[in-house]
């Protein structure tokens, strides 16, 4: 049996490299290794109107229902509003982190999501865009 030296000890070669040959599946991160296709991570970024808190009430339930549906379909990972610290604004926008197979798939999903989002339809979102996010540290 061949052996490989690791920083901790000498371990059998087959054990040391089994992670490279055995397909693994991490549902939590949405990343599929081995024989399965790697799904990419994207961020849908919203910029809100300055008075979002006063205007969102009648649309909030439907907006959140759409996000929860995308979550249940394993498309959306996490989402929520953000504010820029050190400013007087209460909410500046939102980030919706989601999965896609590639850029075309991400654009298609985001266009469909925004076309049906009551915040966009009722002009609570002044602009939106999509970024591909390369997560290199940690898991989402």
Question: For the chain (length 140 residues), average pLDDT per consecutive 10?
Answer: 41 35 38 53 94 94 96 93 82 91 92 95 96 89
DSSP 38: P
**C-alpha separations of 63 from 43, 58, 102 in Å:** 17, 10, 25
pLDDT of residue 91: 66
Closest CA to 45 of 140, 119, 105: 119
Closest CA to 101 of 140, 72, 75, 71: 75
Q: Which two tokens stand for residue 84?
A: 């820029």
pLDDT of residue 30: 44
**C-alpha separations of 122 from 4, 60, 67, 87, 126 in Å:** 61, 11, 17, 25, 10
pLDDT of residue 38: 52
Q: Which two tokens stand for residue 129?
A: 């865009």
pLDDT of residue 39: 83
pLDDT of residue 78: 95
pLDDT of residue 57: 96
Using DSSP's 3-state secondary structure scheme, residue 133 falls into strand
pLDDT of residue 138: 87
Judge whether 74 and 30 are in contact, CB under 8 Å: yes
DSSP 116: H
Closest CA to 90 of 138, 38, 44, 54: 54
């Amino acid at each position: 049996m061949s052996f490989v030296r690791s920083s901790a000890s000498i371990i059998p070669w087959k054990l040391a490299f089994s992670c490279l040959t055995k397909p693994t599946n991490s549902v939590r991160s949405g990343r599929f290794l081995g024989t399965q296709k790697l799904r990419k991570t994207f961020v849908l970024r919203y910029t809100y109107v300055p008075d979002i808190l006063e205007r969102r009430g009648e649309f909030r339930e439907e907006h959140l229902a759409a996000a929860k549906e995308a979550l249940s379909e394993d498309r959306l990972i996490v989402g929520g509003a953000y504010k820029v610290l050190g400013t007087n604004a209460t909410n500046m926008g939102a980030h919706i982190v989601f999965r896609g197979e590639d850029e075309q798939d991400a654009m298609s999903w985001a266009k469909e999501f925004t076309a049906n989002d009551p915040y966009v339809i009722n002009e609570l979102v002044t602009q939106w865009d999509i970024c591909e996010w390369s997560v290199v540290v940690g898991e989402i």
